[in-house]
Amino acid sequence: MHSMTGASFNAMDAIVGVAIALALAFVVAWLVSPKLRVRLEEPKFRFQERLK
């Protein structure tokens, strides 16, 4: 639906907005929490060890 200003807001806008907000929250949590960073990067290190 169009508003008086000509701008529109629909479900796709909401989905994209929520996805961006969650991505930003994840990045901030990753930067702030060393424990979270270690936990998330653990599978990468295990995989690299198996390749040796």
Domain boundaries, the chain: 11-51
The per-residue pLDDT for 51 is 92
The per-residue pLDDT for 48 is 92
Tell which wins on pLDDT, 4 or 28. 28
pTM of the model: 0.61
Mean pLDDT (the chain) is: 87
Q: Indicate whether 29 pLDDT > 90.
A: yes
Do 37 and 30 form a contact (C-beta atoms < 8 A)?
Answer: yes
Q: Which residue has the tokens 């994840």?
A: 26
Do 40 and 30 form a contact (C-beta atoms < 8 A)?
Answer: yes
Q: Indicate whether 25 pLDDT > 70.
A: yes
